[in-house]
C-alpha cells in the first residue's frame, strides 16, 4: 500500500510500504477514506519535533473497516468509523474516566512502528477501545464526511480547550490562534453557550471562518497590542475563558495577558520552544488557572458526533484544500507557507 | 500606638507610630487581640520581596472594633471581628463573585501607607466589605480565638489550595510544604472528604501536626526521591489533587512530578525565584491543571467559620510559639531559622 513517510525535515514522501494487516487479536484494519494534515505535523516537518527517518505521519483519519482480529466485537468489515488521534485500550482506569490519552497501552498514529493516518490503510490496535462507528449513509455525503473527520482531532481538541477554559452559557471567551484548532475552539465555545467570542487573528480568510463559527469580535493584532484591544473590549477586565491554540511562548503570554482575574486558560497548542510564556506571579495575583493538554478526543466523540450529524455544528470549513494521497507533500508545503489552513487528504 | 515596621531586610522593629484612626466614612478601627507572622512575611524579612524602609508589616489579625466611620453599617464598637489578609470594598463585581483579592479598591495590610496587622490597632478601609463578625463569647476562649485567627489567612489559603486541586470526597491528595499553609491544606482536604492525604515533610514536629490534621501518610523526602515515593504509594499514578504550598521552583517541580494524569495542582505558595518549575510539555502530555493563587479568604470565612466555632476543625496547633508585640522581631528570627512553625502575636 502507499503511505506518507517523513524522511527528514521538509522531506515528506508518499511511498510504497508494507500493507496494514491484523497482527493482534484486538486489531482492525481500516481503509482510509479521509485523512488530513495537522498543524502539529508541521513541527515534525520543520524539524522542531524529532522523527526517525522513514517514520509514518498523520494522525487523523476515517474510513471503512476492512478486517478485524478475533477479539474485536464492536466492529465488522464494512463499518464506517472515525479514529481519534491516539489509540487506547478502552479498558484501563484512564480510559474509563475519559482520559484515553493517558492509557498505558495507548499510542499515537505515526509513532515508530505504527501506521500513520496519511496512507491508504491503517492497522488499528485495540479497535474496540479506539474506533467510533459512524452511520453508513454518511459515506455518501461528501461535506458531512469531511466534517466528521474533524472528530479525529481538531474539533475534539477545540472542545477540550473550551472545557479547560471553563466556557459556560454566557461566558466571554477569547481565542488565541486562528488555525484549525483555534477555529474549532470558537465553534466549541459557541456550542457551549458562550455569549461573546473574541477571535484573535490577522488573516481574513481565517477570521471569516471564525465569524462563521460564532466569533462575535475579531482582533487583528498580536502581542501587547492584542492584549490592549481585548482588555478595552471587556471593560478593562479581560476574558473569563481563554483558549490557547498555538503553543508558543508568545501565544501563552498573550493568553495570560487577556485573561480576566479568576478566569482560566484552556490550552491545547502543543508546547514548543524553551520557555513557557507563563508569568506565574501574574497568574498567582490574578488567580488565573491553566487547564488543558493533549485532548482525549475519544471521550468527546460521543458527545460531539450527534451535533455534527444533524448539522448543529459543521467544522468542514476548516479544510480549505483537498489533495489526493500523492499531493500530501505539497499539502505540507501549503500549510507551512500558510497558503492553506488545513489540508484534506482523499487517498 | 506601637506597631511592627520593617526597616531593612532582617531589621524588624516595634516602634511608636501614629494612632490608627477613622479617616474615611467606610473605615473602622480595630484594636488587635491576636496577630501572627506569616511565611510570606519572611520573603520581606529576607529581602526577597522589596519593602520601603519603615513600611508596616503583618496581614493577619482579629480584634475588637473601636470606632467606625459614618458609612459603616455592619459593625459597631465592641464587635469581635476577624480581618482577611486583604481589604475589599464588598460591592464590586469581583467581590460579588468571591474574588475579593481582585477588588480594584482592595489592598494588603502593610502595603505602603496602610497599617499592618502586627500592631496594637489597624485602620480598616471598607469595613463592611472586609471584616467578618465573630461571636462575642469567643473572646474569652483562648484556644478558639487562636483557631479563629487562622481564618485571616492560613486556613482559607489552605482551603483555596484544596479547592484549586479539586479535592472531593474520596480524593487522593498530596501536599507539598509542611508550613502552616500546607498543614491547613491537609486540614482543608480532610474537611472536603479526601480519602488519602500524603503530606511531604521532613520535620517531625510538623508532620505530627499533619497527621493530627488528617494526613494518612507522610513522605520524609524531597525532590526526585519524594516523587518516587508518592508514585510508589499510588500504584505508580501519583495523586489526583496536589497542594503546592511553598512557591519555589523546586516545590512546583515536585508538585508536577507527583500529580496523577488528569489531576490538578492547587497552588498557593507565593511564587518567588526566577523560574516557574513548570514543565509545560509534561503537564500538556498528562493533562495536569494548575489552579490557585492568592486566596480570596474573605469569600471562604463564612463557610469555614462555623466549623472552627463548633470544633469540627481546629487549626490552632499551627501556632507553636506566642510572643507579645515586643517579641515580634524574635518571632521573625525563630520562623526564619525554622525553630518556630508559626508565631502568634498577642499585642
Contacts of B288 in chain A (CB under 8 A): 293
Averaged pLDDT for residues B315-322: 98
> Residue A132, SS3?
strand
Say how far apart CA A14 and CA A12 lie, in whole Å.
Answer: 7
Q: Cα–Cα distances in Å, from B186 out to A287, B91, B173, B244, B259? A: 21, 32, 8, 11, 16
Q: Are A154 and A182 in contact (CB under 8 A)?
A: no
Q: Is the pLDDT of residue B275 over 90?
A: no
Confidence of residue A104 (pLDDT cuts 50, 70, 90): very high
CB-based contacts of A222, cutoff 8 Å, min separation 6: A200, A202, A250, A254
Q: Is the pLDDT of residue B30 over 90?
A: yes
Confidence of residue B157 (pLDDT cuts 50, 70, 90): very high
Domains along the sequence of chain B with CATH: 2-153+296-346 (3.90.180.10), 155-292 (3.40.50.720)
Say which of B284, B285, B293 has its CB closest to residue A284.
Answer: B293
Q: Per-residue pLDDT tens for B58-90?
A: 999 999 999 999 999 999 999 999 999 999 999
Q: How many CB atoms lie within 10 A of CB A291?
A: 21
Q: Is the pLDDT of residue B233 over 90?
A: yes
ipTM: 0.96
Residues pairing with B133 in the sheet: B81
* φ/ψ (deg, to 5) at A235: 60, 25
Say how far apart CA A106 and CA A246 lie, in whole Å.
Answer: 25
Cell of B175: 501536599
Q: Is the pLDDT of residue B221 over 80?
A: yes
Q: Per-residue pLDDT tens for B125-143?
A: 999 999 999 999 999 999 9
Averaged pLDDT for residues B270-281: 84
Say how far apart CA A64 and CA A120 lie, in whole Å.
Answer: 11
First to last CA, chain A: 11
Contact check, Cβ <8 Å, A164/B289: yes
Residue of A nearest to B267 (CA): A284
- Given this model, what pLDDT does residue A275 score? 81
Averaged pLDDT for residues A271-295: 92
Q: Are B271 and B144 in contact (CB under 8 A)?
A: no
- Given this model, what pLDDT does residue A130 score? 98
Burial class (CB in 10 A: 0-12, 13-18, 19+), B170: exposed
CB-based contacts of A184, cutoff 8 Å, min separation 6: A150, A154, A155, A157, A158, A159, A213, A315, A318
Pick from B86, B133, B191, B158: nearest CA to B342: B158
Cell of A62: 476515517
Say which of A276, A287, A294 has its CB closest to residue B101.
Answer: A287
Contact check, Cβ <8 Å, A261/B288: no
Averaged pLDDT for residues A38-64: 95
Q: Which of A225-229, A283-287, B166-170, B268-272 has the lowest mean pLDDT?
A: B268-272
> In which region does residue B215 sit, left (phi positive, over 0), alpha (psi from -120 to 50) or beta (all else)?
beta
Beta strands in B295-341 (DSSP E): 321-324
Contacts of B265 in chain A (CB under 8 A): none
Contacts of B278 in chain A (CB under 8 A): 276, 278, 280
Averaged pLDDT for residues B221-236: 96
Q: Are A198 and A220 in contact (CB under 8 A)?
A: no
Amino acid at each position: 500500500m502507499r503511505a506518507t513517510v517523513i524522511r527528514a525535515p521538509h522531506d515528506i514522501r508518499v511511498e510504497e510500504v508494507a500493507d496494514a494487516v491484523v497482527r493482534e487479536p484486538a486489531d482492525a484494519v481500516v481503509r482510509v477514506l479521509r485523512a488530513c494534515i495537522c498543524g502539529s505535523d508541521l513541527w515534525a516537518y520543520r524539524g522542531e519535533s524529532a522523527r526517525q527517518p522513514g517514520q509514518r505521519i498523520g494522525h487523523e483519519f476515517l474510513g471503512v473497516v476492512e478486517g478485524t482480529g478475533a477479539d474485536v466485537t464492536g466492529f465488522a468489515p464494512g463499518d464506517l468509523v472515525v479514529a481519534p488521534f491516539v489509540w487506547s485500550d478502552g479498558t484501563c482506569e484512564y480510559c474509563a474516566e475519559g482520559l484515553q490519552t493517558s492509557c498505558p497501552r495507548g499510542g499515537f498514529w505515526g509513532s515508530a512502528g505504527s501506521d500513520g493516518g496519511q496512507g491508504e490503510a491503517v492497522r488499528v490496535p485495540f479497535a474496540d477501545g479506539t474506533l467510533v462507528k459512524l452511520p453508513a449513509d454518511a459515506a455518501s455525503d461528501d461535506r458531512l464526511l469531511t466534517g466528521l473527520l474533524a472528530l479525529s482531532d481538531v474539533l475534539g481538541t477545540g472542545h477540550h480547550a473550551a472545557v479547560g477554559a471553563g466556557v459556560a452559557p454566557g461566558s466571554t471567551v477569547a481565542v488565541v490562534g486562528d488555525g484549525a484548532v483555534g477555529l474549532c475552539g470558537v465553534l466549541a465555545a459557541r456550542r457551549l453557550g458562550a455569549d461573546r467570542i473574541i477571535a484573535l487573528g490577522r488573516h481574513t480568510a481565517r477570521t471569516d471562518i471564525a465569524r462563521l463559527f460564532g466569533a462575535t469580535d475579531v482582533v487583528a493584532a498580536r502581542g501587547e497590542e492584542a492584549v490592549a484591544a481585548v482588555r478595552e473590549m471587556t471593560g478593562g477586565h479581560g476574558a473569563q475563558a481563554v483558549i490557547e491554540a498555538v503553543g508558543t511562548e508568545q501565544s501563552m503570554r498573550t493568553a495570560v495577558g487577556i485573561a480576566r482575574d479568576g478566569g482560566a486558560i484552556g490550552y491545547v497548542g502543543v508546547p514548543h520552544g524553551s520557555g513557557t510564556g507563563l508569568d506565574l506571579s501574574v497568574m498567582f495575583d490574578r488567580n488565573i488557572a491553566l487547564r488543558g493538554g493533549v485532548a482525549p478526543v475519544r471521550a468527546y466523540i460521543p458527545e460531539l458526533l450527534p451535533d455534527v450529524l444533524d448539522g448543529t455544528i459543521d467544522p468542514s470549513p476548516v479544510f480549505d484544500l483537498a489533495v489526493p494521497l500523492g499531493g500530501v507533500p505539497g499539502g505540507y508545503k501549503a500549510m507551512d507557507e500558510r497558503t492553506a489552513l488545513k489540508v484534506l487528504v482523499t487517498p
